[in-house]
Chains A and B, each alone.
Chain A
Amino acid sequence: MGTPATDIEALTSQEYKYGFVTDIEADSAPPGLNEDIIRLISSKKKEPAFMLEWRLKAYRHWLTMTEPKWPNVHYPPIDYNSIIYYSAPKPKKQLKSLDEVDPELLKTYDKLGIPLRERELLAGVAVDAVFDSVSVATTFKAKLAEMGIIFCSFSEAVQNHPELIKKYLGSVVPHTDNFFAALNAAVFSDGSFCYIPKGVRCPMELSTYFRINAMNTGQFERTLIIADDGATVSYLEGCTAPMRDTNQLHAAVVELVAHDNAEIKYSTIQNWYPGDKEGKGGIYNFVTKRGKCAGVNSKISWTQVETGSAITWKYPSCLLIGDGSIGEFYSVATVNNYQQADTGTKMIHIGKNTRSTIVSKGISAGHGQNTYRGAVKMLKSAAGARNYSQCDSLLIGDQCGAHTFPYLEVKNPSAQVEHEASTSKIGEDQLFYCRQRGMSMEDSVSMIVNGFCKQVFKELPMEFAVEAQKLLSVSLEGSVG
């Protein structure tokens, strides 16, 4: 296996092999990436011409780029030509009952307190007629449509609302943004699209639970959320249940656009397979997430709980363009065993009186390496801008690491920037206090860790906050002697 660079070179120099019309199987492309594959993806999805053009532009740009090396994470080189970039959703093996499911998985569901019905759904057990989530989803969709909210899969949006896609796709994360964003732009399979019209307050949490059609979207997901003037929406992606996935590389892109007085709250709970105790396997989660506060007094709030994946590499960011706009970032990142996380945020203050808050809590256990990397930029135009950042790290065990790399760049004298960071371990006296009151060691640690993260958890939608707490104790299991 050659390095990606030489592979790309070999690929670009090779003869036009497949002919213009590809005669490969109907529902899956051969591994590898070239313009034909992209044409195939685009034609399979019956995309309009502008989409294909956009994908190809992204692909050609991607060829000129090299994989970034600056993150504080280590992994063997990825062979981009061994990946299958298009395959129709494979029907999962249907299990007859929960008895056939891996008992480890069931134990975890139990600890998380996931309702029985959902457990079946998550584990891939054939769902009986009573719990027809498709119909649940349809009911909700009808309600949303009544209010003018568009909430559908990306492919549907391309078909039904091409004008919106044309206007907003790549407007926040251009295809030239970075290596993985370019790759995603070229080959993304599906994702979600959401448009909230003027003045509408979305009546419910939009969550992937109800988004059956967008499940199995694979490794290159693309999400686009637009809140028009005065609209409000809260969106939740992921779920607390452990997700097993055969795709190792996940390179998703999320774009948010908030117009005048609009508000978007985007919460993520990520618990993909982190690899085994020796650090083998596990998902590489390389995500580009960015929100644009385009209008005055708009607000974008990112909340993330990152417990899974072998490597997490993402920086949900805010471009604060509109005067008085607000960016927020609340994050809990946990690493255990051999997990690595390099995560943080970028707050770019452009408009006047823009404000941003960053609260990042990192927990490292086992051999985990946790890095906070963030940038706060106050451009010359950002008069009266304010930023407050706080990043705290908690270390459990003496083999793990916690690293902080904040960049602060200020070009306006009336801007105020404050940054605080601390690193510590769980206090002996705190543990002693809990132990003395009859709590087990594990419970004590879990309670202290949850207290440490409370500031972030309280930003999550209520029902998920409860699950997130439990999730944290599960993912740190076995880290305390």
Chain B
Amino acid sequence: MSWPTWLTEIRAGAQSRFDAAGFPTPKLEDWRFTNVAPIARATFHASTNGVSHAAEFKHFFFDHAARFVFVNGHFVPSLSSSQGLPAGVYAGTIQAALRDPAQAKVVEKHLARHAEYKENWQSFVAQNTAQFEDGIFISIPNGVVVEEPISVCFIATGDATAAFARVLVVAGDNSQAAVVETYAGNAATFTNAVTEIVAGANAIVEHYKIQQENAAAFHIGQLTVQQQRDSNVHDHSVSLGGRLVRNDLHFILDGSGAEAQLNGLYITGGEQHVANHSRIDHAQPHCPNRELYKGILTGKSSAVFNGGIIVRQIAQKTDAKQSNKNLLLSDDATINTKPQLEIWADDVKCTHGATIGRLDDEQLFYLRARGIPEEDARGLLTFAFANELLGRMKAPEVRERLEKAVRAKLDSRLGTQDSAREGL
């Protein structure tokens, strides 16, 4: 594959960065609770097979007019379509965009320019930057509103397959769009995904990341969002699948009035490990930011939440609220939560909160007293706990799909408390 010179240079630099840093170890503060030794130990290889199996994953696709399917990091044109996009909107593979001189300029300006990898703990981003084969590039011109979400599905198949997913979204000034990323798979694969979103002034972007990979899969994801003045980005992250999942979010509020909302839901069972790390960098004044992450843990699973808010000295009038709530439903589940505030400005309002507990006995009693069996009552309360986040999703088809997926996951985990205890 031939890359333009600028990208070849970046990739070579990233490769040497990755070679120098290696896989992160729990000795690094940022990876203290997430041990990626199973990834580092195993050998994963790129694979072009599996395209023929792609159709098996149809139920993960959305019926959006513009949808793109990748298998093991390779584009599958037969399952994709780019119809129904307003004039001027570009959505296609990064490779294709690089061949189109007009798009290539935009790609050059933004691709691999926002997702950082200079620190040792960011070595997975370096690995992706050095090794991705293709990805999706979405560019929305100034003032254009894309009504229907654009969906991208990344499928990983075959044991020991390494799949690199790369997404670049550039939303122009006053534009509006929604992008849905879905990750699915059927084997012990390793997915390393990097998404970069650039939101221009006044742009409104809604981003979904739905992670439903195989219970043996590894998933490491990085989302970097660069926000200009008065832009508005809502991110929804739902982690249901995978054996070891880590999501890193980095929001840079780089224009005054930029607003970010981060919603996250993780439901874990068995021996799953899900880590969500967010960093919100208030680089300019007057930026509001809301973050709500909720977790439901069963079996022997473990989860990590680490939410950092940095308020720079000039970022006066920052208004940041962060909250992490966790339900522990089994004796063997573990949660590590670490909200973090770093504040260098004085005229700010920042709060964070974290709670960890089980279902409220009084709420259970209320339902039981009204004749609802205990099992149903537990199911109801647990779903309600998760539903707060689903209710925030604006795209109805995504919300409905996830309601079903969440119910299915909760039923399989909670169906009976005993089966959860047995490590189901």
Residues of A within 8 A of B (CB): 70, 378, 380, 393, 395-425
Is B354 a contact of A70 with CB atoms below 8 Å?
no
A410 and B346 form a contact (CB under 8 A): no
Q: Is the CB of B354 within 8 A of A406?
A: yes
Listed residue (A406, A408, A412, A425) with the most chain B CB atoms within 10 angstroms of its CB: A408
Offer 22 A-B interface pairs, CB within 8 angstroms, sorted by A.
A380-B332, A396-B346, A398-B313, A398-B345, A398-B347, A401-B342, A401-B343, A403-B341, A403-B342, A406-B338, A406-B354, A407-B338, A408-B356, A409-B337, A410-B336, A416-B355, A416-B356, A420-B352, A421-B353, A423-B349, A423-B351, A424-B350
Closest to A393 in B: B343
Does the CB pair B336–A424 fall under 8 Å? no
* Chain B, Cβ-Cβ closest to A397: B346
Distance in Å: Cβ of B137 to nearest Cβ of chain A: 38
Residues of B within 8 A of A419 (CB): 337, 339, 352-355
Check if B263 is an interface residue, CB within 8 A of chain A: no
Q: Is the CB of A400 within 8 A of B356?
A: no
B387 at the interface (CB under 8 A from A): no
User: How distant is the Cα of A207 from the Cα of B300 in the complex, in angstroms?
Assistant: 49
B328 at the interface (CB under 8 A from A): yes
Which positions in B face A, CB cutoff 8 Å?
Answer: 29, 313, 316, 326, 328-358
Given A70, A400, A414, A425, which contacts B358 in the complex, CB threshold below 8 Å? A414
Q: Nearest-CB distance from A294 to chain B (Å)? A: 25
Chain B nearest Cβ from A50, distance in angstroms: 36
- Residues on the A chain within 8 Å of B29, using CB: 70
How many Å lie between the Cα of A410 and that of B353 in the bound state? 15
Q: How far is the CA of A366 from the CA of B357 in the complex (A)?
A: 40
Measured between beta carbons, the chain A residues less than 8 angstroms from B331 are 380, 412-413
A378 surroundings in chain B (CB, below 8 A): 356
Sorted nearest first, the 3 A-B pairs with minimum C-beta distance are A395-B346, A413-B328, A417-B356
**Are B340 and A395 in contact (CB-based, < 8 A)?**
no
- With A412-B328, A413-B329, A418-B353 known, 8 other A-B pairs at CB within 8 A are A402-B341, A403-B342, A410-B335, A410-B336, A413-B330, A417-B355, A417-B357, A424-B350
Query: Does B338 contact A405, Cβ atoms closer than 8 Å?
Result: yes
Interchain nearest-CB distance for B329 vs A (Å) = 6
Closest to B311 in A: A423
Are A413 and B348 CB-contacts (below 8 A) given A398-B316, A405-B340, A408-B337? no
A423 touching B339, Cβ below 8 Å: no
Q: Which residues of A contact B351 (CB under 8 A)?
A: 420-423
Assembly CA distance A302 to B355 (angstroms): 24
Which residues on the A side are within 8 Å of B334 (C-beta)?
409-411
Give the complex CA separation of A424 and B313 in angstroms: 14
- Kindly report which residue of chain A lies nearest to residue B348, judged by CB atoms: A423
Of B329, B346, B350, the residue contacting A422 (CB under 8 A) is B350
Question: In the assembled complex, which residues on chain B have CB atoms less than 8 Å from the CB atom of A393?
Answer: 341, 343
How far does the alpha carbon of A409 sit from the alpha carbon of B326 in the complex, in Å? 11
Residues of A within 8 A of B344 (CB): 401
Roughly how many angstroms separate A399 CA and B337 CA in the complex, as a whole number? 29
Which applies to chain A's interface (DSSP): helix, strand, loop or mixed?
Answer: strand
B15 CB, min distance to chain A CBs, angstroms = 29
A422 (CB) vs chain B CBs: closest residue: B351
How far apart are the CA atoms of A417 and B337 in the complex, in Å? 10
Contact assessment for B333 and A413 in the assembled complex, using a CB-CB cutoff below 8 Å: yes
Do A404 and B356 have beta carbons less than 8 Å apart? no
Instruction: Give chain B's interface secondary structure class.
Output: strand
* Chain A residues within 8 Å of B348, by CB: 395, 423-425
Contacts of B353 in A (CB 8 A): 418-421
Give the docked Cα–Cα distance between A419 and B333 (Å).
Answer: 19
Most buried by A among B333, B339, B346, B347: B346
* Docked-complex contact A403 and B316, CB < 8 angstroms: no
For the complex, give the distance between the alpha carbons of A408 and B334 in Å.
Answer: 10
Q: How far is the CA of A419 from the CA of B357 in the complex (A)?
A: 12
Chain A residues whose CB sits within 8 angstroms of the CB of B342 once the complex forms: 401, 403
Distance, CA A396 to CA B352, complexed state (A):
20
Q: Which of A396, A399, A408, A425 contacts B354 (CB 8 A)?
A: A408
Residues of B within 8 Å of A401, CB to CB, are 342-344
Docked complex Cα distance between A291 and B345 (Å): 36
**Contact status of A421 and B339, CB under 8 A, knowing A395-B346, A396-B346, A398-B313:** yes
Shortest Cβ gap from A372 to chain B (Å): 9
Q: In the complex, what's the smallest C-beta–C-beta distance from A391 to chain B, in angstroms?
A: 9
Bound-complex Cα distance A405 to B341 (A): 7
A352 CB, nearest partner CB in chain B, Å: 14
In the complex, what residues of B have CB within 8 A of residue A420's CB? 351-353
A403-B343 contact given A415-B356, A417-B356, A422-B351, CB 8 Å threshold: yes
Give the distance to chain A from B377, nearest Cβ to Cβ, in Å. 17
Q: How far is the CA of A425 from the CA of B358 in the complex (A)?
A: 35
List the B side residues contacting A409 at CB < 8 Å: 334-337
Q: Find chain A residues with CB under 8 A from B354 CB.
A: 406, 408, 417-419
Residue of A nearest to B345 (CB): A398
B347 touching A425 by the CB < 8 A rule?
yes
Of the residues A403, A416, A421, A425, contact of B357 by C-beta under 8 Å: A416
Interface centre among A413, A414, A415, A425 (most CB of B within 10 A): A413
A403 surroundings in chain B (CB, below 8 A): 340-343
Report the Cα distance A416→B335, complex, angstroms: 12
Beta-carbon contact of B355 and A418 below 8 Å: yes
Q: Which residue of B lies closest to A416 (CB)?
A: B357
Chain A residues positioned under 8 Å from B352 (CB to CB): 404, 419-421
How far, in angstroms, from A398 to B285 measured CA to CA in the complex?
A: 13
Knowing A420-B353, A421-B351, the reply to whether A404 touches B316 (Cβ < 8 A) is no
A418 CB contacts on chain B under 8 angstroms: 353-355
Distance between B360 CB and nearest chain A CB, rounded to angstroms: 10
Cα separation A397 to B345 with both chains bound (whole Å): 8
Interchain CA distance A405-B348 in the complex, whole Å: 18
A398 proximity list for chain B (CB < 8 A):
313, 316, 345-347
A412 surroundings in chain B (CB, below 8 A):
328, 331
Residue of A415, A422, A423 ringed by the most chain B CB atoms within 10 A: A423
In the bound complex, residues from chain B placing their C-beta under 8 Å from that of A410 are 326, 328, 334-336, 356
Cα A400 to Cα B354 with chains together (Å): 26
Contacts of B328 in A (CB 8 A): 410, 412-413, 415
From B333, B343, B355, give the contact of A423 (CB < 8 A). B343
Known contacts: A409-B335, A425-B348. The answer to whether A395 contacts B343 by CB under 8 A is yes
A212 to chain B, nearest CB (A): 44
In the complex the two chains form, is B357's CB within 8 Å of A415's CB?
yes
Distance to closest chain B CB from A362 (angstroms): 10
Q: How far is A418 from B339 in the complex, measured between Cα atoms in Å?
A: 12
Q: Which residues of B contact A421 (CB under 8 A)?
A: 339, 341, 350-353
B27 nearest CB across to chain A (Å): 11
Contacts of B329 in A (CB 8 A): 413
What residues of chain A lie closer than 8 Å to B316, measured between beta carbons?
398
Residue of chain B at shortest CB distance from A386:
B357
- Tell me the nearest residue of chain B to A418, going by C-beta: B355
Specify which chain B residues have a CB less than 8 angstroms from the CB of A423 in the assembled complex.
Answer: 341, 343, 348-351
The complex places the Cα of A423 from the Cα of B319 at a distance, in Å, of 10
Nearest residue in B to A423 (C-beta to C-beta)? B350
Q: How far is the CB of B194 from chain A (nearest CB, A)?
A: 27
Q: Chain A contacts of B347 at CB under 8 A?
A: 398, 425
Q: How far apart sit A412 and B344, CA to CA, in the bound complex (Å)?
A: 36
B320 to nearest A CB, angstroms? Answer: 9
Question: Within the assembled complex, what's the spacing in Å between the Cα atoms of A70 and B29?
Answer: 9
Contact status B357-A400, CB under 8 Å: no
In the bound assembly, the distance between CA atoms of A402 and B329 in angstroms comes to 35
Chain B residues closer than 8 Å to A424, beta-carbon distance: 348-350
Residues of B within 8 A of A400 (CB): 346
Which of these, A404, A411, A414, contacts B339 with CB under 8 Å?
A: A404
Q: Smallest Cβ distance from B115 to chain A, in angstroms?
A: 25
A254-B343 Cα distance, complex, nearest whole Å: 31
Contact indicator A408/B338 (Cβ below 8 Å): yes
Contacts of A422 in B (CB 8 A): 349-351
Contact A425 B346 (CB under 8 A): yes
* In the complex, chain B residues whose CB is within 8 Å of the CB of A407: 336-338
